[in-house]
Amino acid sequence: MSDPLIAPERARQFTPAERRALYDVINARRDVRNEFLPDPIAPDMLRRVLEAAHAAPSVGFMQPWNFILIRNAARRQAVHAAFAEANAEAQAMFDGEKRNKYAGLKLEGILKSPLNIAVTCDRSRGGKVVLGRTHNRDMDLYSTVCAVQNLWLAARAEGLGVGWVSIFRQEDLRGLLSLPDTVEVVAYLCVGHIDECFTQPELQARGWRHKLSLDDLIMDDHWQSNAPVERDV
């Protein structure tokens, strides 16, 4: 006989309005860089956003994430300096007109946003053998990315913008955040109130890339040779 305390319950059915709201939030999500307002984030709002992140799925229920809330001006200045150094290296990797276009992009809001959040993954959490991670060690990283997505969508629903800054040397962030050897930064996020945002992804609006057609990305049963292949020239 199954334990009634752990038996599944009838699944909640969502109304058309609730479903529409979810899809609206997903489609309204943007990577925000320059539109942050200086207004502080109310503690109860921030808590709701972090609770949403903490509700993300994780393989083996390992919950490998932590959320480092970074408000200190000096620390953020140091993080911005690390970004600027890595960004100069990244710019040099592009050629010709692409390099010029890259130089005109604003790719972070580290100092403009009122809050930075480093989402980390503790790769030792759960012990040496974790259910579901036995054959793919990176499932903890993938689980942490799910927490980032939850955070991002919840923030957008609350009227907050989020920008993911990825142009760092991992070792620079590790030192600035005093991370132990078992912990990696998965996402460095800039968070704050916004009253404006792009109606389409900013990189698309600025002509850096275009959105791929979903129909070109769907395959049946196996990889198909008509998958889109794009290379910058």
Give the model's pLDDT for residue 7: 85
Least confident range from 49-53, 79-83, 199-203: namely 199-203
Quote the Cα angle for 36-40-46, to 5°. 100
Report the alpha-carbon distance of residue 44 to residue 32 in Å, rounded: 22
Are 37 and 192 spatial neighbours (Cβ–Cβ below 8 Å)? yes
Which ranges of 104-222 does DSSP label H, i.e. alpha helix? 139-157, 170-177, 202-205
- Residues 36-57 have pLDDT tens digits of 999 999 999 999 999 999 999 9
Q: What is the pTM of this model?
A: 0.93
CATH value at residue 85: 3.40.109.10
- Residues 136-177 have pLDDT tens digits of 999 999 999 999 999 999 999 999 999 999 999 999 999 999
Residue 2 covered by a domain: no
Residue 202 covered by a domain: yes
Range of the domain at 58: 30-206
Residue 105 covered by a domain: yes
Could you give the number of structural domains in the chain?
Answer: 1
